[in-house]
Amino acid sequence: MNKPRVYAAIAILSGVLLVTGSRLLPIVGSFSGRTTVMDVLKDLGIAAFIFGLFNILIDLPGWKQYFEERIKEIIIQQEYLDGLDKDVLKLLETNVLKARLDSSSLDERGSLHNFVRDHVQRFLPLPFFEDAHAEVIYEPVSQGALLVTDKVSYTCRAMDGKIERQMKWKAVETAFREVRGIRFHGTYPAGHPREGETVELAKAAAGERELVHRLEDMNAIDGMRIGLVASYVIDEHKMQVWELERPVKGVEVTLKFPEEYTPSFAGFLPVQSAPPTAGPGYFHFRYVDWTLKDCGFAWQLHRLPAKAKADRKPPPAAAAEPPKEQRDQGTGALPARV
C-alpha cells in the first residue's frame, strides 16, 4: 500500500467533508459565531483538499521523477555546496562516504577516516610536484670524503591557479663539511610563449650554505619545470636523507659513485614499489605513485672490501640508466637533504 497516496486521499476526503459541513451549517440553525465557524471550516476544507491533491500529483511517476532530478541537481551544484557551512559539509562528506563504502561505522572515534580528514585532506588544495628526478653523483675528493653533486628536477603543478611559492635548499650544519655551490633554474612548459627555454633563477654566493628564491613572476605557470644543482663535500659514510615537504607524484633517484662503494637504500613510502636496479657504481630507484609530506628516502655508501669488489658483477644489460637529456632536463629544489 502506498501510504502517501492513502494520506492524500484522506486529506481530500476531509477537505470535502469540511467544505460540505460549512455549507450545511446554516441549515442546522442559528447561533452566535456561525459565520466565523463557517469560514474556518470552509478554509480548512479547501486547504486539506489542495494538500491532498498536491500530494497525489507529486507522487505520480512523472512528477516524482521530475522533483527527484531537480533536488539532485540543486544538491550537487557547486553554488549550493559553497553556501553550506564547514560543519554541514563535513557531515555531508561523511554520509556520502558511508553510503559509497557501505560502512555505517566509518567515522567512529579513532578510525582511519578521521585521521585522513584531519591530517591528509589539508594537502588536497595545495600545489604539488610531479615527475621528480634526483641524480646524485659522488667523487672522491680527499681521504674519507666525497664531493657530491645533486641534480634534482620536478614539475610544479598548480592548484587554484598557483604553483609552489618558493624554492629553498639549506645545508644542515653537521651534515656537510663544505658547500661549494647552489643554483636554481627553471624551464618553461609546453604551450607557454617561452616553451622549452631554461633560465637561471638564483645562485648562491661563495661560501653560502642556503639559497631561497621566490617564484613570484612564475607563480601562475602550471607545469613549470624547476631545478636545483648543488655541490658539497661530506664524510664518505655519512647517511643522507631526502624528506619531502609536499605531495609528489612519481619520484626517481639515481646514485652514481666509485665502484669501491656500495649503497644501502630505504624508502619511506605509502605504497610498495618495484625493486631498484643496481650494479657497480650505479643505483636507480623509481616510484610511480604519490608520496605525502614527510615521506622520503635515506641512503648511505659503504666501502667494499677488496675481495667483494673483485667479485661484483656488472648490472644486467636491460638495466639502462635514464637518458642524459632526461637526467639533465632541469633541476629542482625539493627539500634539502640532511
- Per-residue model confidence as pLDDT tens digits over 12-58: 566 556 556 556 555 555 545 455 656 665 666 666 666 666 666 66
Q: Band of the pLDDT at 298, cuts 50, 70, 90?
A: very high
pLDDT at 281 exceeding the cut of 80: yes
pLDDT at 170 exceeding the cut of 60: yes
pLDDT at 82: 80
Q: Band of the pLDDT at 333, cuts 50, 70, 90?
A: very low
Measure Cα distances from 183 to 75, 83, 106, 211, 324 in Å.
Answer: 50, 46, 48, 8, 20
pLDDT at 259 exceeding the cut of 50: yes
* DSSP string computed for 237-253: T--EEEE-SS-EEEEEE
CB 151 within 8 A of CB 229: yes
Q: Indicate yes or no: pTM above 0.75.
A: no
CA angle 32, 33, 35 (to 5 degrees): 125
Share of the chain above pLDDT 70, in %: 68
pLDDT at 187 exceeding the cut of 90: yes
